[in-house]
Amino acid sequence: MYIMELDYYHNLSEKEDFFKCKTINTLDEFDAFISESNNLSSNQNIIYRGVCAAKYKLYNSAQRYWITNDLEDFNGESYTYFIYNLIKNAEKYQG
């Protein structure tokens, strides 16, 4: 069985198309960032999500399974279409 590899960001500018990014290189920069974040108004949404390298994209476990097991070629549909159909089928069973 061939295992597909997950896609990743080739550079930080590519990642900035999807996220507001800030590079932190020192402990002092980290402390300043946290202090600044704590002073923001409560209506701003800030999410911290860590991975071991900035190049990695964030996938949920179902996406990782779908990609690494090449299920799109297996059943001929995209992950998005699979999830759409899953939701539509679940809606049929709601009372």
Dig out the tokens for 92 from the structure.
Answer: 């049929």
Do residues 73 and 92 both lie within one domain?
yes
* Cα radius of gyration (the chain): 19
Q: Which residues of the chain have pLDDT under 70?
A: 1-3, 40-50, 95
- pTM reported for the whole predicted model: 0.57
Which residue type is seen at 29?
A: E
| 42 within a domain of the structure (yes/no) | yes
Domain of residue 15, residue span: 7-55
| 2 within a domain of the structure (yes/no) | no
- Say which DSSP state 88 is in: H
Do residues 45 and 65 both lie within one domain?
no
Do residues 34 and 68 both lie within one domain?
no
- Count the helix, strand and coil residues of the chain and give each as a percent rounded to the nearest 5: 45, 0, 55
Q: How confident is the prediction for the chain on average, in pLDDT?
A: 81
Total domain count, the chain: 2
